[in-house]
């Protein structure tokens, strides 16, 4: 990210809590005009208040990313109110943890609707606008769990793997229109979502660490932004294992 007027207007989804909130604060601190979206309006109002003395400004735009029609309206309103979006960080998502005992089409669909289709709903207007202008940067937050299937994350991992695969598919086309695309693969980040987990989370980092790594990756124009490094290395190595070895590892996870 440059210090000039580039990336002046930023849109961050899932900005009410966790990584999204920390990203919005950091960007406002740097002087950006930051449109923030979350389903919970009071989170956005408190975020705006918290950033009131910063160099940039927070603009709350509450909305549900799963509502495709309202997201289109919201996107147009942001651009009419603040200006064209230079940088879009599509971060909204959740984690619905379940095993085979609770496996159902309803739970799986809910996870995919929020994480995958919610991102696609926001991506579509942003991408077509940037393609027309031949400029802009899109950042999509996936997960290290996109690398391989993990126990109790059949829907979550699938939703994030779909995002990663989509980014790999879109990047060559977007390059032809001078639109940058980045995919973020975080490990465990301390947020209200992970606070509910009752299992060990190796190499846990806080949201401020995560936001700084993401912004650093954006500045460097990286396609893949991943952290923490040790967990990312482990997951990258697991991705290379043949199935018989990989399942020996994941079965040990089940026994813990």
Q: Which residues are catalytic?
A: 156
Q: Per-residue b/e over 171-206, b at no fewer than 16 CB within 10 Å?
A: beebeeeebbbbbbbbbbbbbeeeeeeeeeeeeebe
DSSP-derived letter for residue 153 is B
DSSP-derived letter for residue 61 is -
Q: Give whole-number Cα distances, 61 to 24, 51, 108, 229, in Å.
A: 13, 15, 28, 34
Give the three-state DSSP class for 225.
strand
């Amino acid at each position: 990210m440059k210090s000039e007027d580039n990336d002046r207007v930023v849109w961050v989804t899932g900005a009410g809590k966790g990584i999204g909130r920390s990203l919005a604060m950091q960007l406002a601190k740097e002087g950006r005009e930051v449109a923030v979206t979350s389903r919970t309006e009071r989170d956005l109002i408190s975020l705006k208040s918290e950033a009131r003395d910063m160099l940039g400004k927070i603009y709350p735009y509450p909305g549900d990313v799963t509502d495709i029609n309202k997201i289109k309206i919201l996107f147009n309103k942001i651009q009419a109110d603040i200006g064209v979006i230079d940088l879009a960080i599509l971060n909204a998502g959740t984690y619905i943890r379940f095993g085979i005992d609770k496996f159902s089409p309803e739970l799986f669909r809910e996870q995919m609707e929020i994480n995958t289709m919610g991102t696609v709903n926001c991506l579509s207007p942003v991408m077509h606008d940037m393609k027309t202008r031949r400029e802009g940067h899109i950042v999509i937050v996936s997960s290290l769990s996109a690398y391989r299937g993990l126990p109790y994350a059949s829907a979550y991992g699938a939703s994030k793997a779909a995002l990663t695969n989509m980014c790999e598919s879109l990047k060559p086309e977007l390059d032809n229109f001078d639109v940058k695309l980045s995919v973020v693969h975080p490990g465990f980040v301390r947020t209200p979502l992970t606070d509910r987990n009752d299992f060990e989370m190796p190499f846990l980092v806080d949201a401020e660490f995560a936001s700084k790594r993401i912004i650093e990756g954006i500045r460097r124009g990286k396609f893949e932004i991943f952290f923490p490094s040790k967990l990312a290395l482990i997951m990258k190595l697991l991705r290379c294992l043949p199935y018989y070895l990989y399942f020996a590892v994941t079965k040990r996870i089940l026994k813990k």
